[in-house]
Each structure stands twice: as C-alpha cells, then as structure tokens.
Structure 1
Amino acid sequence: MRFGKIEYINLLPFDVFIKAYPLHSGFKKFLQLKKSYPSRLNKDFLFRRIDAGFISSIAGYHAARKHKATDSAIIAKGSVWSVIIIPNPQAEDYQSATSNALCKVLGLSGEVLIGDRALAYRYKGGEHLDMGKIWYEKKHLPFVFGRFCFNAYGDFYHRISKEFNQKKIKIPHFILMAYAQKTQIPKSYILEYLKHIYYKIGPKERLGLERFYRELLFKKIKKPARF
C-alpha cells in the first residue's frame, strides 16, 4: 500500500495521526519516501505510482465520480491564509493545479502562491488576496482544496479516513518547533493558521466541490489527466 504525502503544514494533524496509527512498517517507510507538493502527487496518483493520498480537488474529480474518494479533505470556510494571489505579473504556482484553476474561476489576476511559502509571505505582511475568502464571499460555501482519494484498498483507506475525522489531534510541541524552524514561521502563527483548516467533508463541502467542478466546465478549464 503506497500512500503519497503532501509536505505542508496544513496536513500536520493528519501526519501526527498516521504516524500513531497501527500500520505495518512498509507503509510508514513508503510514507516518508513519497512526499512532495500537490501537483507532483497528482501525477503519481493518476499514473498509479501511489495508491492513495490527499490529491488536489481538480485531479481527484474522476476518483470522486468513481466513488474512490473518502470523506477527508483539506477544507477552508473563508480565509485559508495559504492559497493567495500576490501583486506580481500573472503566473501559476507549479505546485498546485487546483489553486491555479481557482484563480481562473474567481477571475483574479496576479501570481498564485500556495502552501508554506504563501503562509510565510503572509506572516511577513506581504500584500495579497486570499482565494479561500473570495470564494466564500462569492459562493457562501467552503472550498475543498484537496481530497483523500484512492486507487485501491478502498475499505482500508475509508477506515483511516473515518478514524481521522473522529479524532481530535494534538500536535506535539517538538513537531511544531521543527516546522517553525524549517519555515521560519512562529509556532503561535502555525497554530492560528491551522484553525482555518478542517478535514471532514459534509453536505456543504460536497456542494462546494460540485460548484467548483461546474465552474471548471463552464470556463473550459482542463483537469489533469494521464494523457
């Protein structure tokens, strides 16, 4: 079982959860080897180099249609802090297909910046527009940035998702400090940021996803594919 891992602060709670989950050593070893940014994991997922992972919503479209998606996701209801537009010439972020598509859906101009780099930019006071906030103001729905999808072992991953959604995760101090040192973002700011993220998909989150997919269709924005 090959699980791909996004190496961002927004998945710290899942990282803590999965490390404590009773899994065989091979799974956990692969977890540490196969970690990258969202668009790279999208390709690994589409080409079946990994069995599962938190896949960008735009790349998880077909998995969701085939009922190969769990009820866990990376979600924000309003400001997200880590998916932003900065006042530079128009440019996409190579790390996220969903955020690039969301920029087009919202009709925004500027440079897309996501993940820990976006969070660090915001912490330093950089001028920006928060795409999570703008989406919510326009649609009055949460935005699902990435979804826990699978190619195989569905029962296993559904079980992990269900237990993760039910568990209240406390992130150990030493892990927070390691990320603070790595990203140059204070621990207190990381904790405040994580209050803007949640992980359980419900009816409103599903509706938000459907609205996003409909916008992709109307604006003829292509979804990532193998070919």
Structure 2
Amino acid sequence: MFFSTAILLSAAAVFSVSRLSAEEARVVPPPAVDAVVDQKRGLETAVFAGGCFWGVQGVFQHVRGVTDAVSGYAGGSEGTAKYTTVGTGTTGHAESVRVTFDPSKISYGRLLQIYFSVALDPTELNRQGPDNGTQYRSTIFPANSEQAKVASAYIGQLNAAHAFSKPIVTTVEPGRSFYAAEDYHQNFLALNPRYPYIVINDLPKVENLKRLFPKDFRADPVLVAIAKPSN
C-alpha cells in the first residue's frame, strides 16, 4: 500500500468511489464441507492474507462473531516480521490478518466464503489492486489440519464451479507463525476512513460485506486494543 500523508476527501467523494467499486464483489457458494464446531474449544483463530492488511482487517472487523482481527505478517521468520523489511518482498511473509472468532456464531467456512467474496480477488498472483509483490499474495494460513483440509477443498470446489473467470491462485500454507504488525497499522481503516488508499481500495470491501452479507455485517467494528505509551 502507499503509506504517505493523507489528502482528506469529501464525504461525497468517499461515497462516490465506494459505489463505483461496489459491483466488483460477488457471493461465491459456501463450502460443501465446513469445519466441525467443537464448543469445548471456545474461540478459534484463522489467518488470511489478501493484499494490504488494512482492507482485510477492516472487512473482518465488521463481521458478526469475530471478536478480534489483528494485522500482521505470516509466512516468514520472527526476525523479519517488520513492515519495512516485509516490504522488500524477500522475507517470505505476506501481510496477513489473524481473525479470532466464535465458532458458535460464525463458522470457519463462512469466514472463507466472506474472504473469497469481498476481501480480495483470489485470481491475482502476488498482487492485489495497486500493490505488487509476494508480500501481497493471496494465502490462507490454517491454524490446524482441519482448517487446511477445508480451505484446500473449498478452493478446489470454487475452481470446479468456475466461480471466477480465472483459476484461483490462493495458496494454503500450514505451519506458519503469525506476528502482529506495528501499532500504527492496527485499526487503520476505522481510524482513517478518508485516507485516499482506503477510500479507493478498502471502503468498497466493507460496503460489499454490508450489501452481500447483511446478516453477518456489524456496523460497529471490533477494534484492536492498542497499548498507550506510559508517561
């Protein structure tokens, strides 16, 4: 993403750009096989990468049943999990979002459906929108073998159904650790709704979530708690 001084846009401009982009999303069929809900496990996590993490985080922060959505990095080592280093495209990391959810309220499969429907274009290889590089790749980082099976099967299902005009290039990369990004990246969409990049690329995703998944949409986002510096 382009991280520079924001030029404030009018509310009318925000609405206009969002409306122009609103038809790009689509509702894909739900997974034929979903993860088994185990009430004993309580809250669960899922990690998704799909371009700049600002937009992916913004989408999942507005999903009912999600209790936390943290921007970060996955795919590389802890020592290289820094914004400036990941931006070189040489670390193996992808900008990612760790989603904590209540499986009694929303299933892993439903999160996958939302991810493929509104959070990204899964046919773009190593890029999303204006952002290029392996750090912007479309990847699912499963938390366990069950998630890996569900995700892989779902990609196969969507490709077989020709849900998109081109094959899905989203990868499934198990066994990778997630590292939270710097505080200034957290809640970026919610805190900077007039930032030009957000207006053009990410607000339409939230609008698409509201339009296409109204029962799953929550108006007030669940925000990451940022520690305040001590005096």
TM-score by length of 1: 0.26
TM-score by length of 2: 0.26
Q: Which is helix-richer, 1 or 2?
A: 1
Larger RCO: Structure 1 or Structure 2 (Cα < 8 Å, ≥ 6 residues apart)? Answer: 2
